[in-house]
Amino acid sequence: MRIAALIAALVSVLALGLAAGCGGDDGGSSDASATDDWANDVCSAVTDWTSAMTSVGSSLQGGDLSKDSLDKALDDMRNATDQFADDLRGLDRPDTEAGEDAKQTLDGLADDVEQGRDEINDAVEGADTAQELLAAVPTVTQTLQAMSSDVANAFSSLQQLDAQGELEDAFSQASSCDEIENQNS
């Protein structure tokens, strides 16, 4: 199923950082239904966030790490996560039988990624030495993996509550969802 493929793609994109260059779409075509537009907006939010998170990761791989570069990366991560959560919460419920449940799933995902952001902040807050920063790495890594799982679990939940296949159809029509799958091709 399309949602299952998106789950696999999202996990890979987040876990492997392959979303560089993946951007959002500025909305659906005039022929698209409101539910198609909703799915497009969901995937755009995900691709924008994964792209930003990948950029953060890339900025830390240059080898010239400093407290300032780490602080900038953390600010970028916070801003990207805040925008992602705002984008998810800003979506209306899709016009489907399971629309309210889908909306609650995305609102829950927004809460989850914000919690992850806070856990990363807590892990690195006050870390001024290389040793203190290294001590935070396992927590940061585990939290990023958990955030990746949260996204995948949200899509899995959407799949499970879509008995009529309405969301499945919408995700298959959403061009920004193709961008997620194409990153794994």
List, for residues 15-70, the tens digit of each pLDDT value: 443 333 233 334 444 456 888 899 899 999 999 998 888 888 777 776 666 777 77
Query: CA nearest 158: which of 104, 81, 95?
Result: 104
Quote the pLDDT of residue 49: 93
Q: pLDDT digits over 144-170, tens only?
A: 889 989 998 998 888 788 767 888 888
Model confidence, pTM:
0.78
Q: C-alpha angle 14/124/108, rounded to 5°?
A: 45
Q: Is the dihedral of CA 92, 88, 27, 185 positive or negative?
A: negative
CA distance 61 to 89: 32
**Higher per-residue confidence, 106 vs 23:** 106
